[in-house]
A = this chain, B = another copy of it.
Amino acid sequence: MNFMSDNVVGAAPEILAALAAANEGAQPSYGGDPLTARVTRDLAELFECDVTVFPVATGTAANALALSVLTPPYGAVYCHDEAHVQVDECGAPELMSGGAKLVPLAGPHGKLDAMALKAALDKGGAGVVHHVQPAALTLTQTTESGTVYTPDEVMALTEVARAHKLRVHMDGARFANAVASLACAPADITWRAGVDVLSFGATKNGALAAEAVIFFDKALADSFAYRRKRAGHLFSKMRFLSAQLDAYLTDGLWLRLATHANAMATRLAQGLDALPGVGLRSPVQANEVFAVMPEPMIAGLEAAGFHFYRWDGACIRLVTAWNTDPAHVDTFVAAARGLAGIV
């Protein structure tokens, strides 16, 4: 039973089936196919606005390319200090932007705080030639701590950004989990709340490898096609990316899968939180559980064959997925209960 990450599981059957369906016949390459056009329509409808959409295959590509249009090479991109772009992309934003600097800010439970952002920007050196120039803010939704920004929280941050002339990107590798958690419209935590560009993730939530970079401010998208191409992220048989995204967006599949994953995390969290000596490091608002537990319990769970990530110290990370079996969750909780000495 594997709670290591939501990328250890396979793809949803609907998405695999869509690949097979998309395989028929000759189609224009590089995105000239009808499925790719349909994905843009799907997303315009979902987000209730006009959008420019670029499918790519990885979240790192989506993030780094999106940021590359928001910052000059001498720019500064403000982010949470645990953000994927800062910690887990081996410098992809720096590569794609030509050397921009990420400015990491601390904040509890993976969230940036508007006042802390304002304080950082106020001394950010805008207009002073010695300093990298504040250019963009990037938010992670769902955060790296498994928490979710409310629409008001997003808005508070983007207002600070806007006041300092920053553009705003959202890393939505787990965007679906956030929407499922908030039960809001996708627009409510994106363009209506001041986000310019979204990395809309599907890979972690049932696709094989598909993300969409969605521009709400279309003027920003001008250079993206060239940047995607020169980064090697323009797929010749684009239909196979678009087919995944189209199936993902059809009949609410994306939200259904995320809702399940979230429910499994909640079930897991509730089971663990009830145990003596076990605590949750952050509120469980999506599909990740950060649990603090005694080392013997951690070691015991590992020995029992469960897979998860040792986050730091006594904290482990458990991630549920679109296809997590409730029985697996219950087995895990039961094992933990056993290790806690509860019969």
Residue numbers of A with Cβ under 8 A of B are 2, 4-5, 7-11, 16, 19-20, 22-30, 56-62, 64-65, 72-74, 87-92, 94-96, 98-102, 123, 129-133, 203-204, 208-209, 223, 225-227, 229-237, 239-241, 307, 312
A77 to chain B, nearest CB (A): 11
Task: Find chain B residues with CB under 8 A from A23 CB.
Answer: 10-11, 16
Docked pose: A101 CA to B57 CA in angstroms: 25
Docked pose: A132 CA to B102 CA in angstroms: 13
Cβ–Cβ contact A130 & B229, under 8 A: yes
Docked pose: A91 CA to B19 CA in angstroms: 30
Cβ–Cβ contact A58 & B234, under 8 A: yes
A80 to chain B, nearest CB (A): 16
A237 to chain B, nearest CB (A): 6
Docked pose: A49 CA to B342 CA in angstroms: 56
Cβ–Cβ contact B131 & A88, under 8 A: yes
A16-B23, A129-B226 known; 4 other A-B pairs, CB under 8 Å? A10-B27, A94-B101, A208-B237, A231-B231
A232/B230 contact (C-beta < 8 A), A11-B23, A29-B7 known:
no
Cβ–Cβ contact A231 & B229, under 8 A: no
Task: Find chain B residues with CB under 8 A from A98 CB.
Answer: 73, 95, 98-99
Cβ–Cβ contact A92 & B232, under 8 A: yes
Cβ–Cβ contact B229 & A129, under 8 A: yes
Find the residue from A8, A19, A89, A102 having the highest chain B CB count within 10 A. Answer: A8
Cβ-closest chain B residue relative to A228: B129
Cβ-closest chain B residue relative to A24: B10
Cβ-closest chain B residue relative to A232: B61
Cβ–Cβ contact A56 & B25, under 8 A: no
Task: Find chain B residues with CB under 8 A from A65 CB.
Answer: 232
Find the residue from A28, A58, A59, A208 having the highest chain B CB count within 10 A. Answer: A208
A230/B92 contact (C-beta < 8 A), A26-B9, A237-B209 known:
yes
Cβ–Cβ contact A74 & B226, under 8 A: yes
Cβ-closest chain B residue relative to A27: B8
Can you list 24 pairs linking A and B with CB atoms under 8 Å apart?
Answer: A10-B22, A10-B23, A16-B20, A16-B23, A19-B19, A57-B235, A58-B233, A61-B232, A64-B232, A65-B232, A72-B223, A74-B91, A90-B131, A90-B229, A91-B230, A92-B230, A92-B232, A95-B98, A95-B99, A129-B226, A129-B229, A133-B226, A208-B240, A209-B235
Q: Which one, B62, B88, B94, contacts A94 given CB within 8 A?
A: B94
Cβ–Cβ contact B132 & A90, under 8 A: yes
> 7 closest pairs, A vs B, by CB?
A61-B232, A94-B99, A98-B98, A2-B26, A7-B236, A10-B23, A60-B232
Task: Find chain B residues with CB under 8 A from A22 CB.
Answer: 10
Task: Find chain B residues with CB under 8 A from A29 CB.
Answer: 4-5, 7-8
Cβ-closest chain B residue relative to A239: B10
A196 to chain B, nearest CB (A): 19
Q: Which one, B24, B90, B209, contacts A57 given CB within 8 A?
A: B209
Cβ–Cβ contact B130 & A90, under 8 A: yes
Cβ-closest chain B residue relative to A173: B236
Q: Which one, B56, B91, B95, B307, contacts A95 given CB within 8 A?
A: B95
Cβ–Cβ contact B89 & A229, under 8 A: yes
Task: Find chain B residues with CB under 8 A from A88 CB.
Answer: 130-131
